[in-house]
Amino acid sequence: MMHLQEVIKVLRQALECSVYVAPRDPGLTYDELMEVGKRAGFQAGEINDAFPQVTTQYFGRQSNKLLPNDQVVSLWKFFSLRDDPEYRNFAAFDFLFSQLNASIRAEGGHNARLERAVVVERAMAAQIPQPDIEAAITIAIMAEFIKDKDGTLKPSSGTVYEPLPTQQRAQTMIRQRPRDEVKVKVYGFVKDVIGRRTDGRPKHVEPLDEFPNALERLGYGRFRLWWSQTVAELRRNDTHSAPLSSLVLSAALVEGSLTFVVKHARSLGLAVFRSSDFDRDPRTWKIDDLIASAASGGNDAVLDDPSRVRAKRLVETRQRIHAGRMLSEFPTTAPDLRPDEARDAKATAELVVRCVLDWLEKHPPTP
């Protein structure tokens, strides 16, 4: 139960941080939140178990973004709480509420209103960064301090908001909480994930999750399901109780990632996969040859030498599924498959697939 609470905490922090990172488009999709959870060290099953206690709402009818649930939002109403790190800019909140107060005093609570774009421009003129004032506005809307109708802001209560947030903090004696280094990391994960929406980088930071998109670009989209199923089975596999399965599945992904780029590399006339062996039916290709050829070709190589060595070691370990080969290589004592070899196999698969993705960025397929 304690471990589940750790997952819940991280996912809640991720959704909160999304508001600071992208205040005009807050929240995370299911896939984005799942990725943040995985990068924080959790697995898909426990992340899914935590979802009901993390998010229950959407930001707008047409959005697929998940937002913090009411428990998190309710904490935003108390500016006296002291967090470290604190991503809210209190000067921005003071500016927003001061603007609303001025409108209430001038127009009355019922008629008070401000244009969001105008508030943002005024705040920027007052040396408040645009993301900070945008975040303050979004949080104020979600916490129901104000209402937003097509970019027009109105106070929810119609009464002057006092004391201002910085005054609330000055009036309380609540002790500063210890610095939450996990939240710092989560903020970085969220910033990276949201950045991938628009900057042209792969949507997934995990190479095994991104490779299906590469299959599409290479013209092998029909193999997306095969790839995803193999990855899912590898991730479900217990390296302690079934190390051999991890070796076999990891090697299958290494072999697959290299196999699917052979045709593309040869079509570009690059100095990689030049062997006449690759003129034959793909079923005759051997993983040892794929690895060796992928590391050849100088600047055109897919694998560097360290990744080649690790891939070669993975294949050698995986060959223990062949009894005849074991009889030849271990004539006196049968080898023992250890969990650490299985863990290394998974890491090697991720390394090789990332090398392939990096290579495709340098040699992209033609749309």
H, E, C per residue of 200-245: CCCCCCCHHHHHHHHHHHCCCHHHHHHHHHHHHHHHHCCCCCCHHH
In a shared domain, residues 100 and 214: no
State the pairing for strand pair 146-149/114-115: unpaired
Q: What is the domain range of residue 313?
A: 207-362
Would 134 be classed as within a structural domain?
Answer: yes
- Same domain flag for 253 and 299: yes
**Nearest 5°: phi and psi at 303?**
-110, 140
Residue 22, number of CB atoms within 10 A of its CB? 22
pLDDT at 240 (0 to 100): 77
Residue 319 phi, psi dihedral angles, 5° rounding: -65, -5
Name the strands in the sheet holding 114-115, side by side, starting at the edge strand that comes first in the sequence: 114-115, 152-155, 146-149
Is residue 331 one of the residues assigned to a domain? yes
Asked if residue 43 belongs to a domain, the reply is no
Instruction: Tell the residue number behind the tokens 């927003």, with chain if given.
Output: 96
Whole-number Å distance between alpha carbons of 258 and 266: 12
Question: How many independent structural domains does the chain possess?
Answer: 2
Q: Distance of CA 330 to CAs 232, 263, 322, 336, Å?
A: 33, 37, 12, 11
- Shared domain for 152 and 244, answered yes or no, is no
d(CA 311, CA 283): 20
Q: What is the CATH number of the domain that holds 112?
A: 1.10.10
358 shares a domain with 211: yes
The domain boundary, picked from 171, 199, 217, lies at 171
Contact 234, 250 (CB under 8 A): yes
199 falls within a domain: no
Task: Assess if residue 355 is contained within a domain.
Answer: yes
Pick from 276, 280, 277, 275: nearest CA to 295: 275
Last residue of a domain, one of 171, 196, 229: 171
Are 155 and 222 part of one and the same domain? no
Task: Please give the Cα distance from 237 to 228 (Å, whole number).
Answer: 14
Token pair belonging to 8: 């819940």
Residues 272 and 167 in one domain: no
Do residues 290 and 155 both lie within one domain? no
Please check whether residue 299 lies inside any domain of the structure.
yes
Residues 6 or more apart in contact with residue 57 via CB below 8 angstroms: 66, 67, 69
Regarding whether 142 and 254 lie in a shared domain, the answer is no
Note the pLDDT of residue 288: 93
pLDDT at position 235, please? 83
CA distance 272 to 299: 9
Same domain flag for 221 and 127? no
Per-residue confidence (pLDDT) for residue 65, from 0 to 100 = 84
> Could you tell me if residue 275 is inside a domain?
yes
Decide if 42 is inside a domain. no
Is 295 found in the same domain as 344?
A: yes
Last residue in a domain, options 171, 196, 231: 171
CA 166 to each of CA 97, 144, 200, 233: distance values in angstroms, whole numbers, following the listed order: 11, 19, 39, 52
Q: What is the pLDDT of residue 60?
A: 45
Based on the fold, state whether residues 161 and 214 are members of the same structural domain.
no
Q: Give the model's pLDDT for residue 62.
A: 47
Question: What does each of the 367 residues of the chain score in pLDDT, given as a tens digit?
Answer: 558 899 999 999 999 999 999 999 899 988 899 999 988 988 888 898 988 888 764 444 445 788 888 888 888 888 887 788 999 999 999 999 999 999 999 999 889 988 888 899 899 989 999 999 999 999 999 999 999 988 889 998 888 888 998 888 888 766 667 889 999 999 999 999 998 887 666 666 678 888 988 999 999 989 988 998 888 888 878 777 778 888 999 999 999 999 999 999 999 999 999 998 999 999 999 999 999 999 998 999 999 999 999 999 999 888 776 666 666 666 676 666 677 888 889 999 999 999 999 999 899 997 6
134 with 272, same domain? no
